Amino acid sequence: MKRQIIKAITVSVPVFLWMMVIANSVFAQQNLAAQARQKYDSGDYPASALLFQNALEKSPNNPFLQYDLGNALFKSGKLGQSIVLYQRAFDLMPRNSDIRYNLAFALKRAGENLIPSGIPPILFYIFYWLSLKELSGFFWLFTWLLLLSAGLWIKMKKPASLGPLISTSLILCSVFGIWWGIRFVLEPNSLGVIVTQTAEVRSGPGESFSVDFTAPEGRRVEILSESSGWIEVGLLKEGSRGWVSSKDVEKI
């Protein structure tokens, strides 16, 4: 009996301490976020951005904190960095209308449109209704369900009752797989944003190469390659490409 009590204590104490650490982290994050919103409401946007950044470091994949930090950075005059945060939040939660609106608004300030010309908005919203992680999750869920039901169908000597489940799983697996594949092919492998006021786009990776054109702050670019502090980029809107200093671009 004593041994069982000691064993229970040995197991429960680390779990309790682990839960306390998580609770303290969540409380600290919420406290920082509350302070940040107070600073934002009072008009102290740089201080608000700093507090939101500290909160985001404790929960880096929180789209709401990314959105809030983007707002504070936008109000602070940092257009490029705000678009970085809005884009990250949009990638995680594309159905949120506030995130989508602010990303589109900020991109318009940078001379770019969120919805490409000629694409009906409703089709854009449907196409980006789910994030890539959600699409991949649904694909693997229905793939697993298809394999499980097919295995049971074979083991149980092909009962008719499993036919609808197999057919539905196959259809949904195909839909989400194709949707995920199209998104994966069409979207840039690595996305970045120009975060300096003007980036000089050169013909090669170095200041010895000529400046072909300039890219304004806030423009989204596809990152093509990197070389010794220089990044080869392609501008999403114009399709032009060249090399910029790594300090001019922040990766999404």
- Indicate the pLDDT class of residue 23, thresholds 50, 70 and 90: very low
| DSSP-based three-state secondary structure for 112 | coil
The topology under which CATH files domain 191-251 is SH3 type barrels. (2.30.30)
Torsion of CA 71, 76, 82, 83, to 10 degrees: 110
Q: Report pLDDT for 16.
A: 39
- CATH class label, 2-111: mainly alpha
Q: Report pLDDT for 174.
A: 96
Tokens at 193, concatenated: 């944003």
Q: Report pLDDT for 87.
A: 97
- Indicate the pLDDT class of residue 160, thresholds 50, 70 and 90: confident
Mean pLDDT score, 248-252: 95
Mean pLDDT score, 175-195: 92
- Indicate the pLDDT class of residue 237, thresholds 50, 70 and 90: confident
DSSP 97-109: HHHHHHHHHHHHH
pLDDT tens for each residue of 100-156: 999 999 999 999 999 988 899 999 999 999 999 999 999 999 999 999 999 888 888
Measured CA to CA, the distance from residue 179 to residue 183 in angstroms comes to: 6
pLDDT greater at residue 43 or residue 24: 43
- Indicate the pLDDT class of residue 2, thresholds 50, 70 and 90: low
Mean pLDDT score, 207-212: 95
pLDDT at 20 over 50: no
Determine what percent of the chain is predicted with pLDDT higher than 70: 88
Look up residue 218 and give its DSSP letter: T
Query: Which helix (H) or strand (E) segment is 193 a member of?
Result: strand 191-194
Sign of the dihedral through C-alpha 72, 74, 77, 81: positive
Please provide residue 62's backbone torsions phi and psi, each rounded to the nearest 5 degrees: -90, 110
Counted residue by residue, the chain has a size of 252
Please check whether residue 79 is in contact with residue 217, taking contact to mean a CB–CB distance below 8 angstroms.
Answer: yes
pLDDT tens for each residue of 35-94: 999 999 999 999 999 999 999 998 999 999 999 999 999 999 999 999 999 999 999 999
**Among 151, 154, 152, 144, CA closest to 177:** 144
Determine what percent of the chain is predicted with pLDDT higher than 90: 73
